Each structure stands twice: as C-alpha cells, then as structure tokens.
C-alpha cells in the first residue's frame, strides 16, 4: 500500500539506470528538483553537474545513493537493480514490475503542488492530474491564502525529538566506568532520535549542573532523559523507581571529597518517584528478551543525587517525557551489547 509523500531532493544523490526515453525523462525531472543524478547507460552522454557511467549496469552502481530508478525496460536488469536497492535499504522505482517507489503525475498552481497516484496506471494519473489542474481555480476559491495556525511551519525543517542519555566518569573502585560507552552504543541504535550523550564527572555538586544545563538548552524538543550508573554487585539492568533526599557522608567522590551535607536538596521531600510506568517498561523489555527489572533504591551516592535532582527538575519545569535513572551491571556481568540494547 503506497503512501504519498513530498521529498526534499536538493543535493540528494539518485541513481537512474537506463538512459532511454523514460529514464532520461525521470533523470531530468529529478535534476530539475535539485537531485544529483548518477546515470548508468552505455549510450549516455556527458552531463555537467551529474555523474555518467557509460556502460551497462553493474552491482554496486547504487553505492552512496538514496533512491534508485530502474528504467532499462529489460525485466532481468530492472529486477537486479531493485534487488540491490532492497539490499541497501533504499527505495526503487521500476519501469518493469512492482517497485517500492512510484512517481506521481504532478502539477503546481501558485504555492500549491498536487500529485495523483492511480495505482501504477501512469496514463490515468496524468488524465486525473490534468483534470484537477483545469479545475484548480474553482477548487482553490474560498480557501484562505494562509490557514491560521500553520504560518509558523513555513520554511521550518521538522527536527527529531531529543533523548538525553548520561553516563558517569570513573570513581573510587571503578577505574573504567562503562556507562558513557553504553550510552553511545545505545544512541547508535536510535537513528530516528536526536540522542545527546553526556558524560558527567563523579563529583558531588558538579554532575547535576552539567546535566541540567543540557536539558534546559533543549527546551520543548526534549522527549526524555535517562541517567546511567554502574553498580558492580548487580547482575542485570535495573530501572530505578525512587530517589531519596539523602547522601552518604562517608564515601568520597572522584575528586576525593565528601558530600557537604546529608540532604540532596535541603527542605524538600524525603523521596521522589518516577512519573512513568517503570514496571511496564521493565515487563515489556523482559518480553523482548532483555534482562531488566525495577529497583526501589539507587543507593546514596552520586547516582541517587543526580536521580533526585532530575526528578525535582522534572516537577519544577513540567517536562512531560520520561525522566529516570538506570543502573547497569559491570561489563564482567553483562557485556556492552546487551546493556546498550536494553537501554
């Protein structure tokens, strides 16, 4: 089932295999919309600003391209182009057989652009397009030039939501903290999000201000934030559910200093709970095969301090995305890959 979309073609590299009448028509249409075309055909001629390969199609001709057009008219060749496109995870338009991408019959009227897809019947799509274009003045009549509430969207490129994942540096007893590496590996598995990885110093009074500055700078695009900490005695990933307004007075931080007071935030609530369904998260992850459970104590060291500050910040700002703390075991207990997959 096909979904009509509008693609920004400026600077997009597109492979067109086959330089006959159909292939050239599509190549020039793509170029007119800003695409950089790689044309593959034995009879192709030089085309300034674009790449020409004067030979038959070879495996690898789609390398570096975002879209492919198989226009040779030879079923076996077009099928081979489509097969390479599938292997590379890119859309392919075919003149023979079914492709994953269809061109639409398109027309422009003022600031409006409309297109017609007729289930693969190009001739019918053109006839419908022409009928729409002829009737456009009547269709457009009474429609305001600017619909209230949409003006601010003009010229704005949609930006993906931001997820912040923090880790800690080394501290006494942990010379090589794995959480920054786990956070970075997790980020690489979330290409649909703008993931910001932050490494925090394991120092009382310094870690939270760094994380808070990152969160405040993101604003409404923030989709969620999870701080990671390592716990050598734990054997699986644990989602913390409660932060306590207390700090141990006998544990030194990475700078060799003790906490300057037992309370994380003087005069505030003795504990704060996460505002998302932590047990629901954990249950779903277990169903997917990840070793995850919830925990009711993040300890009384820097992990708990950042966790408490984070939940207090969420309540002050009204941030709606999930905010929480996750403990991961040392890499000797659970390797980086499984930890990052769960995160």
Under 8 Å between Cβ of 93 and 101: yes
Q: Looking at per-residue confidence, does 242 or 100 come out higher?
A: 242
What confidence tens digit (pLDDT) does each residue in 172-204 have?
Answer: 988 888 899 888 888 888 877 889 999 999 999
Confidence of residue 234 (pLDDT cuts 50, 70, 90): confident
Rounded CA separation 116/30 (Å): 17
d(CA 294, CA 324): 11
CA distance 225 to 343: 11
Can you tell me the mean pLDDT for 151-168? 72
Give the 3-state secondary structure of residue 314: helix
pLDDT tens for each residue of 288-325: 888 899 999 999 999 999 999 999 999 999 888 899 99
Give residue 156's pLDDT band: very low, low, confident or very high (50, 70, 90). Answer: very low
Three-state DSSP state, 22 = helix
Residue 92: other Cβ atoms inside 10 A: 23
Measured CA to CA, the distance from residue 278 to residue 273 in angstroms comes to 10
Name the residue among 246, 293, 302 with its Cα closest to residue 272.
246
35-71 confidence digits (pLDDT tens): 999 999 999 888 988 999 999 999 999 999 999 999 9
Side-chain half-sphere exposure of 39, counting CA atoms within 13 A: 28
What does the pLDDT read at residue 106?
Answer: 79
At 75-97, the pLDDT tens digits run 999 999 999 999 899 999 998 87
């Amino acid at each position: 089932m096909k979904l009509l979309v509008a693609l920004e073609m400026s600077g997009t590299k597109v492979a067109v295999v086959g330089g006959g009448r159909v292939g050239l028509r599509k190549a020039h249409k793509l170029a007119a919309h800003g695409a950089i075309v790689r044309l593959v055909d034995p009879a192709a001629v030089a085309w300034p600003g674009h790449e020409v390969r004067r030979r038959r199609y070879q495996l690898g001709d789609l390398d570096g391209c975002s879209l492919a057009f198989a226009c040779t008219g030879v079923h076996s060749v077009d099928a081979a182009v489509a097969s390479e496109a599938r292997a590379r995870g890119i859309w392919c338009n075919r003149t023979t057989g079914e492709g994953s991408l269809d061109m639409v019959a398109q027309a422009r009227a003022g600031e409006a652009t409309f297109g017609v897809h007729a289930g693969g019947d190009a001739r019918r799509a053109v006839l419908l397009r022409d009928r729409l274009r002829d009737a456009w003045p009547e269709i457009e009549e009474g429609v305001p030039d600017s619909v209230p509430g949409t003006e601010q969207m003009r010229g704005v490129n949609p930006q993906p939501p931001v997820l912040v994942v923090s880790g800690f540096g080394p501290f006494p007893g942990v010379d090589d903290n794995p959480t920054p590496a786990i956070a970075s590996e997790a980020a690489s598995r979330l290409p649909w999000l703008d993931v910001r990885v932050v490494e925090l110093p394991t120092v009382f009074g310094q870690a939270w201000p760094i994380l808070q500055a990152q969160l405040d700078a993101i604003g409404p695009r923030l989709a969620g934030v999870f701080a990671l900490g390592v716990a050598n005695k734990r054997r699986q990933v644990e989602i913390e559910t409660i932060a306590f307004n207390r700090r141990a007075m006998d544990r030194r931080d990475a700078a060799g200093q003790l906490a300057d007071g037992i309370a994380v935030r003087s005069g505030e609530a003795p504990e704060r709970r996460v505002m998302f369904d932590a047990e629901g998260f954990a249950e779903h992850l277990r169903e997917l095969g990840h070793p995850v459970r919830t925990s009711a104590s993040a300890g009384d060291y820097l992990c708990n301090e950042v966790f408490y500050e984070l939940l207090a910040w969420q309540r002050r700002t009204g941030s709606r995305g999930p905010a929480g703390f996750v403990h991961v075991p040392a890499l000797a207990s659970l390797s980086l890959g499984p930890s990052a997959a769960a995160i």
